[in-house]
Structure 1
């Protein structure tokens, strides 16, 4: 499955505990990653500095649904369920 254009939910909704370039302490859930560009794309996609959790998260119909709103809700639920 391809990402929905401009979504970026996976770069906002989940917490990331590992360092991100520009965010050495990671980021809390609900905070926009500094590597998310204005078009909703990851600036470090495919680069070695990208956290492993980001590389392992793949778009799916269950997660992405019909767009950003669904993805934000699903990822927030996942964040809470795994806290």
Structure 2
């Protein structure tokens, strides 16, 4: 599965413990990453300063569901379970 352009769920719902440019302590779950632009596209995509955890994330129907709202719900539930 390819990422849905403009979804941004993986940059909003989960916590990220590694440093992100502009967010040196990472980000808590449910907080929008500072590196998302107004179209929910990552400003660091393809750049070396993009965190490894973000680079390793691969879209999958089980995680991303059928639309952006479902992706937020699934990732939020997984975040709460861990």
TM-score, normalising length from structure 2?
0.93
Give a deviation string over 1:12-68, Cα, whole Å, max 9, x none.
000011100010111000000010011111000121111111111111111111111
Matches within 5 A, 1:57-76: 57-76=57-76
Does 2:40 correspond to 1:40? yes
Aligned length: 82
- Structure 1, unmatched stretches of 5+, are none
> What's the RMSD between the two structures over aligned residues?
0.9
- Structure 2, unmatched stretches of 5+, are none
How far did residue 70 of structure 1 move? 0.9
Question: Counterpart of 1:45 in 2: which secondary structure?
Answer: coil
TM-score, normalising length from structure 1?
0.92
